Structure 1
Amino acid sequence: MKFKLSLLVVLGLLLSVFLVACAGGNEESSEETAEESTEEEATEEETTEEATEETEGENVLNFINGDAIPSMDPSMATDEYGFQFLGATMEGLYRLDENAEPTEGIATTHETSDDGLTWTFNLREDAVWSNGDPVTAHDFVYAWQRAVNPDTGSEYGPYMMSGVIKNATAVSTGEAAVEDLGVTAEDDYTLVVELENPTPYFESLTTFGTFLPLNQKFVEEQGDSFATSSDTLLSNGPYMLSNWDSTSSSWDAVKNEDYWDAETVQLDKMTYEVVKDAQTQVDLYEEGTVDRATISSDLVDQYSTHEDYVVTPETSVFYLKLNQTRNDALANTNIRTAISKAFDKQSAVDVILNNGSIVANGLVPAEFTPMPESGDDFREVSGDLVTYDKEAALEAWEAGLEELGTDTVELELLGGDSETAKVMDEYLANQLETNLPGLSITLKQVPFEQRLDLDTNMDYDIQTAGWGPDYLDPYTFLSLWITDGGNNKMGFSNAEYDALLEETTTELATDNVARYENFLEAEKILFEEAAIAPIYQRAKAQLISPKVEGVFVNPFGATYEYKWATVGSEG
């Protein structure tokens, strides 16, 4: 899934003004006024004590979000924030447990045909929407058809379902009716799914946000307002959003008492505040306002011995997307090759990030998936496919300039608007301009939602971007760059690459050893063509309160699982 680029880097500005409390008053107050104030203060104290007594028993955790939620529509969400809160407030056929294994959600069990093409899911009969309607197989049929209907304009529907669900590609391209999609309700509580080809990772796919059900009557009643505010949302998961709309800088996730497994959910509420600045996050943590904060690199040394300091490795990879359609220079393989080799990734990791992140010299992350027979890590077997090499970068650069018939190139680098993202982009631009004579980089920093729009419209030259896996298989990364793929959005196209990946979903679908050999070969082609320029594999350095218990970090899908979260004894 797409990520907001919240890089943990040195901050030039500390926005402490937000934490300063100002007081003032009239020094000429009379004794009578003072007495009245004292009486009022006493009354306020009593009221506060009563309120405290009322809320003392609540189980509440307070968190920070890096930006607003762009969309809560399962068909339209494409980013980490959308999928995070969809995962908290809704439930699909299955959800991930503590070990990242699918555990029962709306489905209790399923059967698979001998050829692996037909999956029959048995749904529970005690699941309801937050308006009281039952959750049925028809809700899944409607949602999945809506996600691939070209009239919907979903990016993830075709991306996640094409080549997987029978007829999804034909439906998404308008060549077949939505009713032809391979998903049917045998009855209210039996869902039958027909696959295009055997799909080894299909069960894990069902945990992902795009495959969530939708209440058709409610969605159609809301029209264009659906999923734009708390009032136009329905939940069938552990929590419900409160006080939220698409522009909110703060909101709550409150326990859904109508959730079928509400007895398991121990939290009454989670509060969220948008804070983009890492220093401000730490200040809020230190004063006890929030229960988790991300640590920027300049604070790591200060807090690395703190008892609440935690480093969490992730399977998210960040890279430069090189759009081959808007600027002639980036259509040149030598120019792209030069860019991919011209910046010092190790310094970015050690000095700028300083948070446990590691250099990325390929696309599929380390410690993500093992090879089928040997069990060796895929990244280790595939090796370093593109490394920092100034001499090789300069050689490719000069060859590219000669092919273009110029000695100068001007490019725009698109990135996020947070202080942290700006520092990383400035570093990358400086590295590229320093090591590639004649290159001029213009920075364009925009809010996350605007960056998603610019990406969708391919209105950029170079873009800092990141991807977290949607399921446990290399295909979740490598399928990004299939010709005209829903997430390609940079004009990369290679017929051999496409063919290798298509084979993994067709004739090799049941031969995992052969599938992985194709993945290895496809990844090599990706970097021979210098399609993207990998930067790093992310880790998070955070302060996490001991009171935060039972929160699982997922290797794919929603970043956090909160169904089993509790407020510990330290709280």
Structure 2
Amino acid sequence: MKKSKWSLLLVLGLVLSLFLAACSGGDDTEEPEENAEENTEEPEENASEESSEEVEQVFNLLNGDTIPTMDSSMATDEYAFQFLGSTMEGLYRLDENQQAVEGIATKHEVSEDKLTWTFTLREDAVWSNGDPVTAHDFVYAWRRAVNPDTGSEYGPYMMNGVIKNATAVSEGEKPVEELGVKADGDYTLVVELENPTPYFESLTTFGTFLPLNQKFVEEKGEDYATSTENLLFNGPFTLENWDSTASSWELHKNEDYWDAETVQLEKLTFDVSKDPQTGVDLYETGEVDRAGLSSDLVDEYSTHEDYKVTPETSVFYLKFNQERNGEETPLANVNVRKAIARAFDKQALVDTILNNGSIVANGLVPSDFTTHPETGETFREINGDLSPTNIEEAKEYWATALEELGTDTVELEFLAGDSETAKNMNEYIANQLETNLEGLDITLKQVPFEQRLDLDTNQDYDIQFAGWGPDYLDPMTWLSLWVTDGGNNKMSFSNEEYDSLVESASTDLASKPVERYEAFLEAEKILFEEQAIAPIYQSAMAQLVSPKMEGYFVNPFGATYEYKWAKAVAAE
């Protein structure tokens, strides 16, 4: 989602998200978040002792939709970041312990004031056309991401307030050459930060910070990143047989990758499937190696030997757009927002519709994500439930809202996903709202993921089912979403006190961990005093996973799955 900005996918077979990107994770039959997503799935311990060379090194998998883009400057969603993460490599890469390990960088040094980071790059990394990967490729890519002419959402979101002069560059006030990144020769990258940034190392693993080969990108022009022929790769795999409309594609082992000896998988195949039942049928016949489960399928397969539930840190919610096409919507009224946020049974939704290990969310920052640096309490333990279901309160807020609006009816459009499981979720929420809030008329607009991204970017909706997976391990990845005019704040929410708290966490409190954390806690309270969004649930993935799949894991942010260290093993 900093790059960060995306709507999410319903995990477990229900994806209703949008484009917040990023980040964080969803399952194979659902739509992406915009964010990026989540908890580590450890490789299985009792792996077959047979040599992996005796087993075909292929995974056959499903994807919930097409890949909207393979341009790292333009990516905002889970699917884009998944395949960028598989085919590209930045300064560092996350391992199964959520630690940054060597990528194109072999080491770095940080200045005493924590503002200058100097990265030493390896000299044996090459692009798939044979060109060396150099510090100049990072300089070009980062400048391109914040250049206002590029139109990137994640560039400014991820870099503003972090990389020196990024905000001024992205707003057209300074030339891109003044961005705080430079090459000191071919294999030394020097980065100047705006303020000390505790999470900067983890940021360098994220898709927006990937390098780009300037000559190739500029030669391809508008065709860049529209098909396999118009892409270069420097990661563990290459993307084959793909274009922007493809419903199937493949990842092939990149023999030119600097660490190719580590990569054991020769190929991963992907087919688009939005229907969980189709996925399960393909799994049962052995045509695919993993399938996401919707709630009804969980009941059927929860005792299956291949059944797995993976908790995640993605949070799904309703976005309330306060201004559309230059005009205020009824959602500009805080009592309308508070009424809607309380008017549907989230526990029933989690237990019955999702039925996949997801839990009710009554705040923005997820459970078990970060802890207070002094007390050790989690964010959710401290702030508690800020937006619980309460039908009676909802009706009271609604009555007040109708009186303030001078009407007895309100019509709103509800933008959401079009997968079968997403439709079940959408219809449930719409029915609950219309039943509990007399006079409310909801029109469902259920569209493919890429179309929802466009509608969100253009702020062309009233209510939107969205989600966010973290882009790095810090509360900022959640709370920076809703600053005034922020790249992900496509709903005209604005609060000066909220903005000030988030800004302080990036500036004067950057080196004061206790005060910084408490600023985040206060900012989240303000977010729900204003009821900017309506949290629904924190996701989990319920899947059938073949025992042949070993060594892959789920990332806490960025690309949902990591396959670099994966292999296929013989079934026991």
Question: TM-score normalized by structure 2?
Answer: 0.91
**Amino acid paired to 2:154:** Y
Which of 106, 110, 115 does residue 112 from structure 1 map onto?
Answer: 110
Residue number among 120, 139, 142 corresponding to 2:140 in the alignment: 142
Q: Distance in 2 between matches of 1:406 and 1:261?
A: 65
Structure 1 residue 550: Cα displacement: 0.6
- Equivalent in 239, 248, 251 of residue 249 of structure 2: 251
Determine the C-alpha separation between the residues in 1 that align with 2:56 and 2:82.
23
Check whether the contact 1:5–1:415 (CA below 8 A) recurs between aligned residues.
Answer: no
Q: Quick one: distance in 2 between partners of 1:84 and 1:399?
A: 45
Counterpart check, 1:264 vs 2:262? yes
User: Match of 2:563, as an amino acid?
Assistant: Y
CA deviation map 1:206-244 (0-9, x unaligned): 000000000000000100000010000100000000000
8 Å contact 1:5–1:464 — kept in the other structure?
no
**1:384/1:342 CA distance change after superposition, 3 Å:** same
State which of 286, 289, 297 in structure 1 corresponds to 2:287: 289
Aligned to 1:423: 424
Measured after TM superposition, the shift of residue 4 of structure 1 is: 4.8
Contact 1:121 1:192 in 2 (8 A): yes
Match of 1:161 in 2: 159
Rounded to whole Å, the distance in 1 between the matches of 2:519 and 2:350 is 30
Does structure 2 conserve the Cα–Cα contact (< 8 Å) formed by 1:390 and 1:435? yes
Task: Please tell me whether the aligned partners of residues 415 and 464 of structure 1 are also in contact (alpha carbons under 8 angstroms).
Answer: yes
Aligned match of 1:312: 310
Q: How does 1:169-318 map to 2 (within 5 A)?
A: 169-318=167-316
- How far, CA to CA, are the matches of 2:500 and 2:151 in structure 1? 26
Aligned-partner residue type, residue 337 of structure 2:
R
Q: Take 2:80 and 2:252, find their aligned partners in 1: how far apart are those partners? A: 17
RMSD: 1.3
- Structure 2 residue matching 1:108: 3-state secondary structure: strand
Q: Measure, in 2, the Cα distance between the counterparts of 1:109 and 1:93.
A: 9
CA shift for structure 1 position 3: 4.2
Task: Please tell me whether the aligned partners of residues 295 and 353 of structure 2 are also in contact (alpha carbons under 8 angstroms).
Answer: yes
In structure 1, C-alpha distance between the alignment counterparts of 2:14 and 2:105, rounded to whole Å:
46
Deviation at 1:259, TM superposition (A): 0.1
Q: Which amino acid aligns with 2:438?
A: P
Greater mean alpha carbon deviation, residues 329-338 or residues 365-374: 365-374
Q: Deviations over 1:431-457 (max 9, x none)?
A: 100110000000001110000000000
2:136 partner amino acid = H
CA distance in 1, matches of 2:74, 2:374: 38
CA distance in 2, matches of 1:260, 1:335: 55
Q: Which residue of 1 aligns with 2:72?
A: 74
Distance in 1, matches of 2:330 and 2:87, equals: 45
Partner of 1:29: none
Instruction: Give the Cα–Cα distance (whole angstroms) in 2 for the partners of residues 239 and 266 of structure 1.
Output: 11
Q: Is the 8 A contact 1:128 1:260 kept in 2?
A: yes
CA contact (8 A) 1:65 1:272 kept: yes
Amino acid at match of 2:444: L
Query: In 2, distance between residues paired with 1:123 and 1:497?
Result: 39
What is the Cα deviation at residue 9 of structure 1? Answer: 6.3
Matched residue, 1:5: 9
CA shift, 1:10, in A, is 9.1
Could you list the runs of 5+ residues in structure 2 that have no partner in the other structure? Answer: 16-52
Distance 1:89 1:126 in 2: 17
Query: Where does structure 1 differ by over 4 angstroms across 4 or more consecutive aligned residues?
Result: 7-11
Superposed displacement of residue 513, structure 1 = 0.8
Contact 2:12–2:540 (8 Å) recurs in 1: no
Residue in structure 2 matched with residue 556 of structure 1 by the alignment = 557
Is the 2:313–2:367 Cα contact (8 Å) retained in structure 1? yes
Q: Deviations over 1:293-347 (max 9, x none)?
A: 0011001121111110000000000000000002531000001010111110000
Q: Check the 8 A contact 2:56/2:568 in 1, yes or no.
A: no
Residues 343 and 389, structure 2, Cα contact 8 Å, conserved in 1: yes
Q: Once the 2 structures are TM-superposed, how far is the Cα of residue 377 of structure 1 from its aligned partner?
A: 1.3
Which residue of structure 2 aligns with residue 494 of structure 1? 495
Distance 1:482 1:10 in 2: 29
Q: What is aligned with 2:399?
A: 398
| Structure 1 residue identity aligned to 2:523 | A
| Conserved 8 A contact 1:84-1:560 | yes
What is the match of residue 460 of structure 1?
Answer: 461
Contact kept, 8 Å, 2:55 with 2:568, in 1: the verdict is no
Q: Which residue of 2 aligns with 1:569?
A: 570
Whole-Å separation in 1 of the counterparts to 2:477 and 2:490: 16
The residue aligned with 2:541 is 540
The amino acid that maps onto 2:529 is: E
Q: Which amino acid aligns with 1:79?
A: D
Aligned position for 2:414: 413
Which residue of structure 2 lines up, in the alignment, with residue 20 of structure 1? Answer: none
In 1, the alpha carbon distance for the partners of 2:276 and 2:480 equals: 33
Look up the match of 1:512: 513
Query: Which structure has the greater CA radius of gyration?
Result: 1
SS in 2 for 1:114: coil
Is residue 409–residue 440 contact of structure 2 (8 Å, CA) maintained in 1? Answer: yes
Amino acid at match of 2:114: G
Q: Give the 5 Å matches for 1:343-422.
A: 343-422=344-423
Structure 2 residue matching 1:109: 3-state secondary structure: strand
2:221 corresponds to which letter in structure 1?
G
**How many residues were matched structurally?**
528
Q: What is the letter of the counterpart of residue 173 of structure 2?
A: E
8 Å Cα contact 2:180/2:192 also seen in 1: yes
State the partner residue of 2:149.
Answer: 151
Q: How many angstroms apart in 1 are the aligned matches of 2:54 and 2:454? A: 44
The change in CA–CA distance for 1:145 and 1:10 in structure 2 (over 3 A counts) is closer
Whether contact under 8 Å (2:202, 2:472) holds in the other structure is: yes
Percent identity reads 74
- Quick check: 2:293–2:542 contact (8 Å CA) kept in 1? yes
SS at match of 1:142: helix
Instruction: Specify which structure has the bigger relative contact order, considering alpha-carbon pairs within 8 angstroms and separated by 6 or more residues.
Output: 2
Structure 2 CA distance for aligned equivalents of residues 367 and 524 of structure 1: 18
Counterpart in the other structure of 1:470: 471
Q: 1:407 to 1:385 in 2, by over 3 A?
A: same
Higher helix share: 1
Consecutive unaligned residues in structure 1, runs of 5 or more: 12-54
Equivalent residues of 1:6, 1:418 under 8 A apart:
no
Q: Which residue of 1 aligns with 2:524?
A: 523
Contact conserved, 2:140 with 2:211, CA < 8 A, in 1? yes
Q: What SS is found at the alignment partner of 1:140?
A: helix
Aligned-residue offset at 1:378: 1.1
2:221 is paired with a residue whose SS is: helix
Distance 1:140 1:333 in 2: 44
Structure 1 residue 569, shift from structure 2 partner: 2.4
Measure the CA separation in 1 of the matches of 2:244 and 2:334: 40
Could you tell me how far 1:568 is from its partner in structure 2? 1.6
In structure 1, how many angstroms separate the alpha carbons of the residues matched to 2:199 and 2:54? 44
2:239, 2:249 within 8 Å by CA — same for their partners in 1? yes
| Inter-partner Cα distance in structure 2 for 1:7 and 1:434 | 27
